[in-house]
């Protein structure tokens, strides 16, 4: 029994360390745009050899982080698909709210999902065949979440007897608004931190807005209200 407990404990410790590796990697990607495995190991206080036991390369690290984002987005999309909405407008607002929450909960993860491209695949210079592919990449299954989103929007429009002239264009409009709003909301959060500290971080644009003037919460409310008006115009065409 003691051996079984020790095994479970070691497994839990490895899982915690793996999550710490992903969290630290996300932060480095966002701050520096790339991650060196040596720098990551140094930041974590572990040997580079031990780090390779968890992720074999910076590309594998990127894919592991993206897989985490994909899992969360799939869950959110499934929840939205099952949820009961009063009408098409409330459905669209529910999607936008869920997406903004996803971005707000873990903005570095969101940044890797939306903005930061993967490290290039290493290929043989002569054969042009990819060199050894790591386990995360071998098991990664692109989810086509945008295509799924378009299908979900089309299905919900039909359910509520809404005739969308161009479902793809409508979905991409809302998607673009939500991505931009998520980025702006995060900048407002950074601005609030700088405003309270009365210090402007030189790596960011030098602005610090008082929360009394504009907060992330009031900005999100404004965005959702504008989305509501846009959807209602689309529905009433």
The secondary structure of the chain in percent helix, strand, coil, rounded to multiples of 5, reads 70, 0, 30
pLDDT at residue 4, as a whole number: 54
Lowest mean pLDDT among 39-53, 112-126, 137-151, 185-199: 185-199
Contact call for residues 63 and 137 (beta carbons, < 8 A): yes
Residue 143 has φ and ψ, to the nearest 5°, of -95, -10
Mean pLDDT along residues 99-117: 94
pLDDT at residue 8, as a whole number: 47
- Under the banding of pLDDT at 50, 70 and 90, the label for residue 190 is confident
- Under the banding of pLDDT at 50, 70 and 90, the label for residue 180 is very high
The encoded tokens of residue 215 equal 């907060």
Question: Could you give the domains of the chain?
Answer: 1-54 (1.10.10), 69-235 (no CATH)
- Under the banding of pLDDT at 50, 70 and 90, the label for residue 110 is very high
Q: Across all residues in the chain, what is the average pLDDT? A: 87
pLDDT at 63 over 80: yes
Name which residue leads in pLDDT, 152 or 211.
152
Residues 6+ apart with CB under 8 A from 17: 54
- Under the banding of pLDDT at 50, 70 and 90, the label for residue 198 is low
Residue in this structure with the two tokens 């509520």, named with its chain if needed: 160
pLDDT at residue 5, as a whole number: 47
Determine the 3-state secondary structure of 123 from DSSP.
strand
The encoded tokens of residue 91 equal 């459905």
> Cα separation of 192 and 209, whole Å?
7
pLDDT at residue 3, as a whole number: 58
pLDDT at residue 70, as a whole number: 92
pLDDT at residue 234, as a whole number: 87
- Under the banding of pLDDT at 50, 70 and 90, the label for residue 6 is very low
Instruction: Work out the angle at residue 10's Cα, subtended by the Cα atoms of residues 133 and 53, and round it to the nearest 5 degrees.
Output: 20
pLDDT at 154 over 50: yes
Contact call for residues 85 and 156 (beta carbons, < 8 A): yes
Contact call for residues 96 and 227 (beta carbons, < 8 A): yes
């Amino acid at each position: 029994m003691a051996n079984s407990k020790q095994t479970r404990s070691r497994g839990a410790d490895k899982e915690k360390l793996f999550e710490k590796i992903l969290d630290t990697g996300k932060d480095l990607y966002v701050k520096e745009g790339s991650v060196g495995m040596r720098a990551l190991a140094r930041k974590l206080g572990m040997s580079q050899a031990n780090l390779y036991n968890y992720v074999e390369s910076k590309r594998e690290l990127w894919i592991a982080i993206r897989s985490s984002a994909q899992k969360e987005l799939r869950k959110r999309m499934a929840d939205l698909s099952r949820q009961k909405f009063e009408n098409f407008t409330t459905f669209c607002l529910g999607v936008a709210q869920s997406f903004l929450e996803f971005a707000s909960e873990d903005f570095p993860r969101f940044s890797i999902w939306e903005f930061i491209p993967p490290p290039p695949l290493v290929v043989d210079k002569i054969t042009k065949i990819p060199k050894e592919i790591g386990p995360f990449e071998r098991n990664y299954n692109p989810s086509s979440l945008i295509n799924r989103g378009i299908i979900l929007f089309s299905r919900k429009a039909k359910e509520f007897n809404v005739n969308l002239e161009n479902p793809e264009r409508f979905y991409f409009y809302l998607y673009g608004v939500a991505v931009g709003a998520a980025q702006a909301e995060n900048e407002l959060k950074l601005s609030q931190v700088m405003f309270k500290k009365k210090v402007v971080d030189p790596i960011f644009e030098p602005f610090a807005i008082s929360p009394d003037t504009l907060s992330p919460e009031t900005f999100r409310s404004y965005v959702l209200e504008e989305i509501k008006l846009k959807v209602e115009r689309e529905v009433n065409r």
